[in-house]
Amino acid sequence: MKLVDRVSIFFLATLAVVLLGISVAVYLIVRDQLYDRFDEQLQAAFHTLVAAIEVETDDVKWEPSDHTVTLGRVNEPDEARWVVVDEAGQIMDRSGNLGDTPSDRQLLELALKPATAIDQKIEMPPWRVMRQTLAAVEPKAPELRDPLERERLTVTAAMSTERVETALTRLAIWLSILSPATWLLTAICGRWIVRRALAPLTRMTTEVRQLGPVDSGKRLPVRESRDELAELAISFNDLLDRLFDAFDRQRRFAGDAAHQLRTPLTVLLGETDVALRKPRTAEEYARTLEVLRGQIVQLNEIVESLLLLARPEPELSAVDFDDVELRSWLEEYLLQWKTHPRRRDLSLEPSGKVSARISQTLLAQVLDNLISNAFKYSEPGSPVLVTLVDRGQQVAISVADRGMGISRAEQRDIFQAFYRSQNARQSGQPGVGLGLTIVARLVEALGGKIACESEPGRGTTFRVELPKAR
Ligand code: ADP
């Protein structure tokens, strides 16, 4: 479902609930108010009627003229209807508006029935009825009474709820028209507003669809309003910049890798072709195989390096880490160089004991690369010094040589894949420029940092800083 539809549906469903709630609340409040006023009116009329009865100990007297009971006299249909009946079921008086309709007759019938209680409130749609019986405590004998004196009088007053009900029905009709109409109007306008508000998102989607895998320099337009959509566009553009940059580096890397693989392969092919051109002596074949082996070793090194660089960071960091005392570890590690032609040039500077949290495999690979570079790029007989320094939170291991050095401008690039300095290339030393790239990756996986200090013609020091053991 589209976002426009989802937002619209949510918004309209909420509105429907709100409108329904408001309508029901309005209806109930108005109904309460109308019935309150209705009851007040009926009660006022009823009390006026009851007040018109004079209650003595021995008789009760209906005296409307003394108490100016004008209710219902002028036939007003909305006023209370009432009947005063004596103990014999004789109508003493009645309101003029009590007509001859079936409901009026029904009310009259009720009024003529003897009251079952002194005070009664009766619901007899459409009537709301109030009845009260007033009686003499010690009634005198009927023959001693005046014509207007009675033993007991029952007042019945009622008002029709028809007017209230009609008003309420009208209100209900209005509410049930107005609420859906409001809802419909909002649905039409709301959908248009939501569509307009989300239009930049739709535009962004179209723009994104047009983006290809090659950086055309095309980016998402950023709205001036600087709202959430503008922020999204900025973030997305940043991501695109980083991705295209990464793509670019990846492509160059693949190109460089292919280039580096091509050289040994060309030599392999050339040597094989030359060897196959005519029959050779066993020595000649052996020499060719020797050359081929050298190239295969180089190919193997490149492929191994590429495989290592292709390994994702978490996989590298997943190797076992231990707290290792580095002085002893370095002494032991350096033993593996004891068969190297320049073993006498390599030395470990005396230091105190210090531990770091390392992966021994990764650190050994780092030092292998740094020491073999130091040998490669310095004259035989010149010293290569390994130093261990405690730097508070960190431990630094340095590999320093007194070789050709690296110019300041080139120091920035030496960690890039396939980069080789001018001097290195001219020196004729073999290499593909992946060693330091791997070292940088490994040091990162070790949680450390690497730095290079060098002066052309004087020597180079690579310093690896590692976090100390906890
Ligand atoms: P490679 O040694 O195969 O060329 P590396 O990645 O190990 O590749 O090194 C990259 C470049 O950095 C080298 O080509 C060289 O120019 C420079 N370099 C590395 N170590 C040293 C060093 N100890 N002295 C001088 N230059 C060095």
Residue whose CA is closest, atom 20 of ligand 1?
Answer: 373
Q: Grade residue 98 by pLDDT with cuts at 50, 70 and 90.
A: confident
Half-sphere exposure at residue 188, Cβ-oriented, CA atoms within 13 angstroms: 5
Q: Which two tokens stand for residue 61?
A: 């007297």
Distance 316 CA to ligand 1 centre (A): 23
Q: Is 427 exposed, middle or buried (0-12, 13-18, 19+ CB in 10 A)?
A: middle
> Is residue 441 within 6 Å of ligand 1 at its C-beta?
no
> Is residue 432 within 6 Å of ligand 1 at its C-beta?
yes
pLDDT tens per residue, range 22-69: 999 999 999 999 999 999 999 999 999 999 999 999 999 988 776 666
Distance 67 CA to ligand 1 centre (A): 123
Substitution site in 365, 377, 422, 460 for ligand 1 pocket (most atoms within 8 Å of beta carbon): 377
- Range from 138-147, 235-244, 435-444 carrying the lowest mean pLDDT: 138-147
Contact 154, 132 (CB under 8 A): yes
Q: Return the ligand 1 atom nearest residue 405 CA.
A: 25
Please tell me whether residue 264 adopts helix, strand or coil conformation. helix
How distant, in Å, are the alpha carbons of 342, 366, 427, 436, 461 from that of 406?
21, 19, 13, 13, 10
The C-alpha R_g of the chain, in whole angstroms, comes to 53
Distance 468 CA to ligand 1 centre (A): 28
Residue whose CA is closest, atom 2 of ligand 1?
Answer: 431
Distance 216 CA to ligand 1 centre (A): 35
Contacts of 403 by beta carbon, 8 Å cutoff, 6+ apart:
374, 377, 378, 379, 382, 459, 460
Residue whose CA is closest, atom 3 of ligand 1?
Answer: 431
In 341-407, which ranges are continuous DSSP H helix? 360-376
Which percentage of the chain shows pLDDT scores above 70? Answer: 97
Contact 130, 46 (CB under 8 A): yes
Contact 54, 67 (CB under 8 A): no
pLDDT tens per residue, range 63-86: 877 666 667 666 666 788 999 999
pLDDT at 465: 96
> Is residue 436 within 6 Å of ligand 1 at its C-beta?
yes
> Is residue 406 within 6 Å of ligand 1 at its C-beta?
yes
Q: Return the ligand 1 atom nearest residue 431 CA.
A: 3
pLDDT at 68: 63
Average pLDDT over residues 286-302: 91
Contacts of 58 by beta carbon, 8 Å cutoff, 6+ apart:
136, 137, 138, 139, 140
Substitution site in 370, 418, 421 for ligand 1 pocket (most atoms within 8 Å of beta carbon): 421
pLDDT at 236: 92
Distance CA 224, CA 246 (A): 29
pLDDT tens per residue, range 148-175: 889 999 999 999 999 999 999 999 999 9
Substitution site in 365, 406, 408, 464 for ligand 1 pocket (most atoms within 8 Å of beta carbon): 406
Strand-pair category, 53-55 with 60-62: antiparallel
Half-sphere exposure at residue 311, Cβ-oriented, CA atoms within 13 angstroms: 16
pLDDT at 313: 75
Substitution site in 370, 373, 378 for ligand 1 pocket (most atoms within 8 Å of beta carbon): 373
Residue whose CA is closest, atom 14 of ligand 1?
Answer: 420
Distance CA 80, CA 166 (A): 17
Task: With 0.75 as the threshold, say if the pTM is over it.
Answer: no
pLDDT tens per residue, range 176-211: 999 999 999 999 998 899 888 888 888 888 888 888
Structure-token match 């690979």, residue found: 365
